[in-house]
Structure 1
Amino acid sequence: MSLSQETKNLTNEDRSSAPGKFIELDHGIVHYELEGSDTAELIVFIHGGGITGQEVWANNIPFFQQKGYRTLSYDLYGRGYTDRPNVDYTPKLMVDQLSQLLDTLKIIQPFTIISMSMGAMIALEYTKLYPDRVNRIVFLDPATTGDYKPNLLLKLPVVSNMLMTFYWYPRAVENQRKEFVDQKLFERYSKRLEYFMEFEGYKRVNHSTWMHTLNQRNTELLKNLKQNILLVYGDRDPYFPQGNVAIYQSFTSSLQHRAIKDAGHMPHFERPDEVNQILYTFATDSLPGE
């Protein structure tokens, strides 16, 4: 069964069909898109743990570009068209990736971060290290509370390989259906999931992320941040219970929050018009508090 999974290696031919550019960083080739004038206000988009990478911003980045913003998005290590290095997928790995990407592109201007799910953990860790570089932060259904508790069997090498191959991989696409309220949208999105999960490293990257990142908690970092923070969540997200809002509020008085009705784990993907307007209003410092 394992031989029938992850049947492709990511090649330059595969990357030739991708938009944007590629750059070599410490742990491999990174796919990114940087658009807009270098004098315009910059927004950095950080996606979550999904294998499709920055494609989750397809309904958002064009909106901000039309508003005159400069935008930077990229695929995290192990996702999208970026390399899948054989390393531990820790928050440090991903923060280092962002820092190196910005430095290599010679981006020195302060920016706004728009992050989703696991990307919120990267946003927090990066802002802790470089507080003067971040103007404001958006969390979309963030995963920073360490709620994920992997099954103990996943810590056993041979057993975990069997579980990932015989149980998890065959169900990986269908298991993400619950993240969507709009099932027709999920059917279209699932085609991209199926495409990227065929590249070598999908099981390894996800397993390592569970073991080293999604089980971590860094929400407490909020109490030391001075930036304004916006939390947006789908009211039908199975991974972000509404009660989590109070957890984030307990660490910062600058938090504003908005619930998106009838949306799941990616409200910006399911309800882009509504979410884009909320994000734009926040980015222009005109969003009233709650």
Structure 2
Amino acid sequence: MKIDWNRRTCARRGHVTYAPTEDTLRERLHAATALGDAWRCLRCGDFALGEPYGTGPAADAPLVPRGKALRDVIIMRFLAVERILRGLFVLMAAVAVWKFSNSRNSVHDLFDEYLTVFRPVARHFHYDLDHSPVVDTIRKTFEYRHSTLVVAAAALCVYALIEIVEGVALWMLKRWGEYLAVVATAAFLPLEIYELTEKISWLKIGTLVLNVLAVLYILLSKRLFGLRGGHAAFEAERHSASLMEVQTAAGAVA
């Protein structure tokens, strides 16, 4: 079953009505009912009772995402949420690394204490805890210098900040945020590919595929870096869409 995102969005956020000053379009968008005046929604095309939310020339009608444009907004918001959550996760990792760098000795002692407690249990299940890959990795972290851990924490903070700013900009549908998303995501693709050469996992593969698709989608749909006519074509498309909103909702043919 095909989902009508226009009506679904209106059901969640409400209708967007507009009264143009042009008499012909105004008559097509307006309907007199027994319950009062009704105006056609610029998103879903249904009539809604009550006063219009805006009025003015048709050229100044609000650009209400609908159809393909609305789908693009939903995809960009999905990418925005993913970026913000990733940034918050990386930020928590940065805080953990910074705290560990300042209390490494106490953490090391606590780790050895718990390792002593669990060693007999592991031996009972015939598991060599002392030569476990996880235990070996944790022990290696205790050998890192304090300065190295501080630099790592700072780098993680910068990366988290980029991800959060990128996510907020994508949520607000800012064009500079789309450029930032493409540049930042593409810059880390070689690192993700290198990690796959070290160890393959479905999580790494899924992350790489998602980032590649995100870069291609934003590049092509938003016409960045001169693609498909560049910024001029993108603005022309938006302007024509703002003019077409009233005409389409009124049933006019361009």
Range class of TM-score, shorter chain: under 0.3
Q: TM-score, normalised by structure 2?
A: 0.22
Q: Which has the higher contact order (CA 8 A, sep 6+)?
A: 2
User: Which structure has more strand as a fraction of its residues?
Assistant: 1
The structure whose Rg is larger is 2
Q: TM-score, normalised by structure 1?
A: 0.20
